[in-house]
Structure 1
Amino acid sequence: PKSFCLVNSRKCQRNPLPSNFTIHGLWPDNYTRQAPQSCTTNNFQRFTDTDIEQRMEESWPDLKQQSIAGLSYNFWQDQWRKHGSCCFPPHESEIYFLKALELKDRLDVLTILENNNFNPGTPQPFSVLRVFNTISRAIGKTPI
């Protein structure tokens, strides 16, 4: 999250920032290479379980908002309208967000990087290719 805040022109409001990687989105893709957007009118629904809401605040926070309960809902609603509504087969919004959490939980990117001598605060930047290759080896797949 800190790097997101450093490179974005808008100042991050969340304090403290999460210390682990967070989700920014789960975007469907297709063969045209143009990501579909805003596909259905299915409305975003608030989460029925407070545990899901807590996991979302930890894993998919709106870094541009203070860490106050409920403030990330606008961000999640925008992500649902723009991307989640395009998932196939169509789902309710909660299922879309649970899938994103499941995918994040499958892979601990921070531990992979730390185990390969990527340490936050190092004065030298890391090459994108080195990060890419490290993650590829660890997961046995090529990230896209």
Structure 2
Amino acid sequence: MFAKSAILLFLAGASVAQQFAKKCEITSPSCSLQGSTDTCCVAKDGWIVYAETWIPNKGPSNKFTIHGLWPDRCNGTWSDDGCDLSRNYTNTGDIVLARDPRLHRVMDRIWPSGSGSNSDFWDHEWNKHGTCLTTIDPPCLADYKKYDDLLMYFKITTAVNTKYDFYKSLADSGIVPGANYTRSSMEAALFKNAGLRTLVRCDKTGTFTEIWAYFDILGQDTFVPRVPDYNPTDCQNVYYPPKTVKKC
């Protein structure tokens, strides 16, 4: 049953997988295989939190935008400072634009910063989180050139966004902007319509801000939904604001 779910939830697609240096035949999640020396196939930080945000003045009115993809250690903790300072990059926007203009266009649309420049935001997400995804470390990628790991992180993350439509999953259960909802009803809709285990987040005023989806990593880039290890008591009732931008 687990293996079947993993096959159905393969995220990255052949265009990404072809860049890995080897094929990993793994049938168990990384957190059950800790101690393996093969961190290209067994992610050292084997839990993933994938976050999308709802910013009323950013992105299409009927889409969430990406916050980030965050590898967590298998005990639920994480590094606040990233995992490899030697691969901390700046001017990420220029790097992506030069290497993959199509990816840059996608990121500009679906991964905007809530404040400040998009490039600075992408720098932060890569430096703090992307460097902790060991399955895309330079030795794990075929014919590695500088920044291939950075591009791989962004490709994998945008592929998750393509696979899951949080807005539609909520709307299919009648949950649309402009009204108040319970956190439990929103999380139930995401589980029913997308198969995701999630947490709905809000700000101090009770306004809906984000959805965090929780995954195990199977091999390099196959993510399997899991039950969240974090269960806060806030955001029990949230206001889902409409956006002030046009539909895509």
TM-score, normalised relative to structure 2? 0.47
Which consecutive residues of structure 1, in runs of 5 or more, have no partner in the other structure? Answer: 6-15, 66-70
Map of 1:138 onto structure 2: 193
RMSD: 2.1
Q: Which structure's relative contact order is higher, taking Cα pairs within 8 Å and 6+ residues apart?
A: 2
The list of structure 1 runs, each at least 4 consecutive aligned residues, that deviate by more than 3 angstroms after superposition, is 1-5
Counting only pairs closer than 5 Å after superposition, residues 1-144 of structure 1 correspond to structure 2 as 4=55, 16-18=57-59, 19=61, 20-37=63-80, 38-40=82-84, 41-44=86-89, 46-47=95-96, 48-65=99-116, 71-89=117-135, 90=137, 92-122=149-179, 125-143=180-198, 144=228
Higher helix content, 1 or 2? 1
Which consecutive residues of structure 2, in runs of 5 or more, have no partner in the other structure? Answer: 1-51, 139-148, 199-227, 229-248
| Shift in alpha-carbon separation, 1:34–1:21, aligned structure 2, 3 A | same
SS in 1 for 2:105: helix
Are the aligned partners of 1:21 and 1:109 in contact in 2 as well (CA < 8 Å)?
Answer: yes
| Shift in alpha-carbon separation, 1:2–1:109, aligned structure 2, 3 A | closer
Larger radius of gyration: 2
Corresponding residue pairs, total: 127
Percent identity (aligned): 24
| Shift in alpha-carbon separation, 1:101–1:33, aligned structure 2, 3 A | same
CA deviation vs aligned residue, 1:114-139 (integer Å, no higher than 9, x gap):
111112112xx111100111111112
Higher strand content, 1 or 2? 2
Are the aligned partners of 1:28 and 1:36 in contact in 2 as well (CA < 8 Å)?
Answer: no
Q: Distance in 1 between matches of 2:169 and 2:153?
A: 26
Are the aligned partners of 1:27 and 1:83 in contact in 2 as well (CA < 8 Å)?
Answer: yes
